[in-house]
Structure 1
């Protein structure tokens, strides 16, 4: 009992501040905590109501989802149920987490005491497993890190082989069953270790191969299957009858272990963690810790060199789990070493795919490492005579290992937005759509926590190995299908019929759309507000809530709201106009929208286009809301000033104007800086292209990287309607072949010729790479062409004569 109490005390220290925040926070880093808590609550409710635990409509509403392949930690749930009745759900979860860490150490201690015969060595080895850095880095997964049943199963298998007692075989079967009931993946992961130990005993000792021994060993397996069968048989039945079962097996082979990571101290250590965190970014799984520890490594070497007969089988087990954890590719310090890896031989196995991530084998790597370390510790302790000396040395070793392994524990607050508590009081069953909604992301896991608070079904969530039918409703609704992967900023133009999308949600009994301010960038939140059109049903500092059954305001087709982005613009740039519309009655005509910019002197520009090309207004029905978005390419020639932007609707069929122009806002228009005087170029010229563009001269220079810098001075002889492309060709006069070229829009593709004002001088800089040009003398030609037609612009020489091929020989270039 003292040993267990010591492990519990050390657990409180090593996992602080979990114990200090009981009831207000729970441990977790990536959100899986919320999945486990939701699952615990769901199983409690299923037991109390008699509902099947294997199906829920609280997630992926209204379709619901099967939970048959979900990670249900039956053992953890059984331990949590009485705790939550006493302490509350969140506190019970944290207490369970602390108990798992301490219990892992204690169970390993019992195995090591039996193996080594040393209480002190066993205590130290138990500490290695309890506070194994990879286990502590799994702050979200109590069902993955509860590995205590494995050393207990190994302990009673050892005792069975030593004494051939029935009770030992029975206990071994019980503990093997508990491994599976903790997590089926854990049973698969433990199978190589347990199988290797059984095989070793059968091969090395003939007495273990007697009919009685083999019969009792079979009893162990049958008992384990019998205990697991009520929980395993439904899963197997579904597996063999479910057509898409194979698709649920995911092997995330990118989650590998870098070999160097075993030697790199933990990134969450309170002293050196921040300094070493950047080093982890080169590893394929940067958020997990695989550090073995200097103290453990030294004792492991001592154990192997001094207790080889006892440690060799455990070394084999450690190497086996190490190779599995490395995965199909060998990574060393971030570099991929092209060597065939043993994992590739079993990568396509269903059992391996069930585990999903090779790095998970590191959790069980702690057990064979701890055994060898315990033997090394025992060897070291034998060099001291008195009990107090041995206790003092063990204490020093424990302090060292705790110091190496200690980590800063991440915590999640249990609190939820206040509106969810109010929602819980609203009667009836209806669903919620939480936004943002991304598949398999942390927000979806947090929404499951909020669901437990308000009790209403949610459109998404997170289920392990989600069956495809669970997302069938999401696939049917355009809004859900799109925003699951893309931003509303991008989709607003595509999803014009707001009411159609809201109607589909309302008809599916999804009453609210909940926008989470802390999860949405400001631009995305603004896009949702604009698209939804109507006023929020509720808003506070955390949430904006909209109903899916809003009521419109104005009779007839009306413009509800508009936005102009940006409201200050430069000549030649583009602005976006978003418009929210409401139709009280069915619209029988297709309309065009005309957007007009006018200043105080009635100067300006206008553009017209179909109001909603993807959903014409003739299809708009009564009480529907719509969002349309329009782009205006601003003229590069409008005078600087403030312009009023107005909207007019025109009947597409007869051209009649519907109503009066509606002012929607102002645009502050700034002028492009223009130059009308020519600098002094190195070479003066007077070539003209189509009486529109003149080359007044140019500069040439060679750069250190071997490039040729061309600095032309252009002048616009008139305004142009076309954006021409400028080319510079370096030609070999002997072969007539182009050896280098540059085709550009002036000023780095930012200042097209149809922006140039009459008389304006445009200086440019064009780089011509000569890296692959062999030494020699070449001719440099210049010209312009229309990129849409490929036709070159006619050019005249300085004498006014047409130039063949419409390209001017500027100069010769030496390479």
Structure 2
């Protein structure tokens, strides 16, 4: 049996000369020197990031990078400052805090960044982690390919194919640190292969297999899933290999595979169970359309994007290029490796195909249409992903095209086999003409590696400035971290500042209202009276919906929002005027701020990016509670405002909610009056409830009248529900003392 016919997982002898063999078999050169090579590759691939490690981040496709900078900071802050586990945080979604079990928290990279954070700061540590990821990703596949082929030069090319893949490049541009962390998967696969192949030092490979599974769990559950699927496929392949001696070998193989998974399963339970609970209770399921939209397409696998090589021929950004391009050079070498060594290499081709089918999602599409409708997206050949989608937790994975990561890894291994065969073929044909065969051993892989890199390299990265306004450093010195919170605005739709505000929190180190998490949490506080108005400063589609429009509520009562801020210890409202694009939204924002903080009040801080307003003292000690300080807000069930000769009214067809915020720390007695109220169909019964408790019923007649309710408001938010048997018009709402 020659070298190219060895069973998968067995390292054949190197084809290099004895001198080269000795050089590359030494741990300091054959194992660790490639790390230096891949570090250089990582620096060039992310260029010019290395020139701006402390003041820039890669950013060209989304604002997720700010969230991941926060993740990195939070891991250090939770461990070293709060001395607590990182899966819940009081720093977001003030005043209730946030559950982070189902958030893309990436604890592993956060912990790895802590030494660099302490030395260089959050931004530099974040960028150093990215360089680490790219470096170790290439190195891990190099070790795997070298183990399988025994050829270090072709294995270096395999590492480039994986570490510089278009998927990794796209994830880097998105700033998604937990997904750029592709380095642990090949290291796990290498250790799992050595475990089932019964290599020397068996306990080392078993322990490392478990360790790398845990590391994957602390990075992203997506890659853990990929590792588990690969493990199942390789176990089946190993059993197939051993079918002639199944009585002797199968029990041992199954015991090893199941043992690794069982030990890992026990160790991961403390974080797995809460994550599954959160996934099951937080609306984590994805619509079919979302999953189909984020699936790979056949055309996308062969569509070039920004490329230093194909850019010479006009290739650039296009909707079809979404990171699932396989690469023509890598694909050619991989197909060569599969064909010439099919008996040995079919497993890697089969795994590549399995993950490729999974990447295609629920329905087969030839090409991608960014303007798909849900109905149009469903038109296609159903794929196995449709069955997986129906399984428990099978519908929570949002982006199937990321399965191409494992396809790329398998392609890298096959490319190493193909390049090794090509080297051997050329040497055999030119044996009498080659004066220095060792030169070809490195020259051909060097050329192949360069072409692969140029095919995948998109050119210099777009970098974003990470300068933080000086105000955040100022408030970092104000008291302890939990003495007060801040509210950043606007926070609605495309105008949201919240993702970047999370990064700013790494400097201010005070809790904030809201937060940008992987899955949108249930957060009623964002709709509280006053809070909603301040968060949605930009919401003003028409003049009638702005603050200055007349309504059944006296909008000047919005000055009582200061009481809500004070009640929840929100000391500062930080406005980002640059996100208020239209004149209407700017006018509305100014009216809200002037109403809440006072007509003649000026921001306590202002620069080119932020305006900062400080919450004024609202509850005066020693004075009796004042019902005029209650802040009302219309909830669900109210019809549109209608202007009548008697003033504005709103129709309630059956039931409506009115929220009333009591800023005092004790119950407050008030009288609530609805003026100019009348039913539309004769006398009707009005059955009010306050915080779920029934109040005395009223009768509303067709004649204009004033309806009065006596209420005892509890501290904080109170929910008044009005239920009427037939439609009722309600006029101006007045709150007074009893």
**TM over 0.5, yes or no?**
yes
Q: Alpha-carbon deviation of 1:395?
A: 0.8
Residue 497 of structure 2 aligns to a residue whose secondary structure is helix
Q: Alpha-carbon deviation of 1:230?
A: 4.3
Provide the rounded CA distance (Å) in 2 between the counterparts of 1:536 and 1:304. 71
Counterpart mapping for 1:667-686 below 5 A: none
Specify the alignment match of 1:474 in structure 2: 526
Matched, 1:540 2:607: yes
Q: Alpha-carbon deviation of 1:416?
A: 1.2
Provide the rounded CA distance (Å) in 2 between the counterparts of 1:159 and 1:487. 59
Specify the alignment match of 2:424 in structure 1: 382
Q: Alpha-carbon deviation of 1:187?
A: 0.6
Aligned 8 A contact 2:307 2:455 in 1 = no
Matched, 1:58 2:106: no
Specify the alignment match of 1:517 in structure 2: 577
Q: Alpha-carbon deviation of 1:181?
A: 2.3
Specify the alignment match of 1:91 in structure 2: 124
CA displacement, residues 206-265 of structure 1 (integer Å, 9 cap, x when unaligned): 4574433333333322332344344335445x45xx9x6262233531212222122222
Specify the alignment match of 1:79 in structure 2: 112
Residue 195 of structure 1 aligns to a residue whose secondary structure is helix
Specify the alignment match of 1:420 in structure 2: 472
Match of 1:47 among 79, 83, 106: 79
Counterparts in 2 of 1:610 and 1:90: CA distance versus 1, 3 Å? farther
Displaced runs of 4 or more, over 6 A = 439-442, 583-587, 607-615
Aligned 8 A contact 1:59 1:457 in 2 = yes
CA displacement, residues 464-518 of structure 1 (integer Å, 9 cap, x when unaligned): 33442xx121133365189559713544236834224443233222233222122
Specify the alignment match of 2:347 in structure 1: 313
Q: Which has the larger radius of gyration?
A: 1
Q: Alpha-carbon deviation of 1:529?
A: 0.8
Specify the alignment match of 2:36 in structure 1: 5
Aligned 8 A contact 2:537 2:588 in 1 = no
Residue 326 of structure 2 aligns to a residue whose secondary structure is coil
Counterpart mapping for 1:343-382 below 5 A: 343-382=385-424
CA displacement, residues 266-303 of structure 1 (integer Å, 9 cap, x when unaligned): 247698399655632xx4xx6x3222222112112212
Counterparts in 2 of 1:489 and 1:106: CA distance versus 1, 3 Å? same
Provide the rounded CA distance (Å) in 2 between the counterparts of 1:193 and 1:486. 48
Q: Say which structure is richer in helix.
A: 2
Matched, 1:22 2:81: no
Specify the alignment match of 2:151 in structure 1: 118
Counterparts in 2 of 1:447 and 1:483: CA distance versus 1, 3 Å? closer
Provide the rounded CA distance (Å) in 2 between the counterparts of 1:356 and 1:168. 33
Aligned 8 A contact 2:488 2:535 in 1 = no
Counterpart mapping for 1:645-794 below 5 A: none
Match of 1:255 among 264, 269, 294: 294
Counterparts in 2 of 1:485 and 1:185: CA distance versus 1, 3 Å? farther
Counterpart mapping for 1:550-699 below 5 A: none
Provide the rounded CA distance (Å) in 2 between the counterparts of 1:275 and 1:480. 48
Provide the rounded CA distance (Å) in 1 between the counterparts of 2:565 and 2:407. 49
Specify the alignment match of 1:452 in structure 2: 506
Q: Alpha-carbon deviation of 1:437?
A: 0.3
Counterparts in 2 of 1:527 and 1:90: CA distance versus 1, 3 Å? same
Matched, 1:191 2:228: yes
Provide the rounded CA distance (Å) in 1 between the counterparts of 2:493 and 2:329. 42
Counterpart mapping for 1:386-401 below 5 A: 386-401=437-452
Residue 383 of structure 1 aligns to a residue whose secondary structure is helix
Which is bigger in relative contact order (C-alpha 8 A, separation at least 6)? 2
CA displacement, residues 185-216 of structure 1 (integer Å, 9 cap, x when unaligned): 22113322221111111122145744333333
Counterpart mapping for 1:775-814 below 5 A: none
Matched, 1:224 2:264: yes
Counterparts in 2 of 1:439 and 1:153: CA distance versus 1, 3 Å? same
Aligned 8 A contact 2:525 2:531 in 1 = no
Counterparts in 2 of 1:485 and 1:122: CA distance versus 1, 3 Å? farther
Residue 458 of structure 1 aligns to a residue whose secondary structure is coil
- Structure 2 unaligned blocks of 5 or more: 1-31, 370-376, 428-436, 619-625, 631-642, 652-659, 664-703, 706-738
Match of 2:331 among 297, 301, 315: 297
Specify the alignment match of 1:549 in structure 2: 616
Specify the alignment match of 1:325 in structure 2: 359
Q: Alpha-carbon deviation of 1:438?
A: 2.6
Provide the rounded CA distance (Å) in 2 between the counterparts of 1:348 and 1:20. 48
Residue 54 of structure 2 aligns to a residue whose secondary structure is coil
Specify the alignment match of 2:12 in structure 1: none
Counterparts in 2 of 1:186 and 1:531: CA distance versus 1, 3 Å? same
Provide the rounded CA distance (Å) in 2 between the counterparts of 1:369 and 1:8. 22
Residue 512 of structure 1 aligns to a residue whose secondary structure is strand
CA displacement, residues 431-469 of structure 1 (integer Å, 9 cap, x when unaligned): 22222203698632111011111122211111233442x
Aligned alpha-carbon RMSD (Å): 3.5
Aligned 8 A contact 1:147 1:179 in 2 = no
Counterparts in 2 of 1:550 and 1:541: CA distance versus 1, 3 Å? farther
Counterparts in 2 of 1:585 and 1:350: CA distance versus 1, 3 Å? closer
Aligned 8 A contact 2:489 2:496 in 1 = no
CA displacement, residues 509-530 of structure 1 (integer Å, 9 cap, x when unaligned): 2233222122221422232013
Q: Alpha-carbon deviation of 1:585?
A: 9.0
Provide the rounded CA distance (Å) in 2 between the counterparts of 1:141 and 1:117. 34
Counterparts in 2 of 1:485 and 1:116: CA distance versus 1, 3 Å? farther
Specify the alignment match of 1:784 in structure 2: none
Counterparts in 2 of 1:511 and 1:482: CA distance versus 1, 3 Å? closer
Counterparts in 2 of 1:530 and 1:215: CA distance versus 1, 3 Å? same
Provide the rounded CA distance (Å) in 2 between the counterparts of 1:612 and 1:421. 47
Provide the rounded CA distance (Å) in 1 between the counterparts of 2:309 and 2:486. 40
- Structure 1 unaligned blocks of 5 or more: 552-582, 588-606, 623-651, 654-815
Residue 608 of structure 2 aligns to a residue whose secondary structure is coil
Q: Say which structure is richer in strand.
A: 1
Match of 1:265 among 294, 298, 304: 304
Provide the rounded CA distance (Å) in 2 between the counterparts of 1:179 and 1:229. 14
Equivalenced residues, count: 561
Q: Alpha-carbon deviation of 1:21?
A: 0.4
Provide the rounded CA distance (Å) in 2 between the counterparts of 1:258 and 1:550. 59
Aligned 8 A contact 2:490 2:534 in 1 = no
CA displacement, residues 533-576 of structure 1 (integer Å, 9 cap, x when unaligned): 2343233221222334389xxxxxxxxxxxxxxxxxxxxxxxxx
Aligned 8 A contact 1:188 1:351 in 2 = no
Counterparts in 2 of 1:352 and 1:83: CA distance versus 1, 3 Å? farther
Counterpart mapping for 1:194-213 below 5 A: 194-206=231-243, 209-213=249-253
Matched, 1:143 2:182: no
Aligned 8 A contact 2:489 2:536 in 1 = no
Provide the rounded CA distance (Å) in 1 between the counterparts of 2:441 and 2:495. 50
Provide the rounded CA distance (Å) in 2 between the counterparts of 1:53 and 1:358. 28
Aligned 8 A contact 2:242 2:250 in 1 = no
Provide the rounded CA distance (Å) in 1 between the counterparts of 2:390 and 2:644. 59
Residue 434 of structure 1 aligns to a residue whose secondary structure is strand
Matched, 1:487 2:573: no
Provide the rounded CA distance (Å) in 1 between the counterparts of 2:534 and 2:608. 27
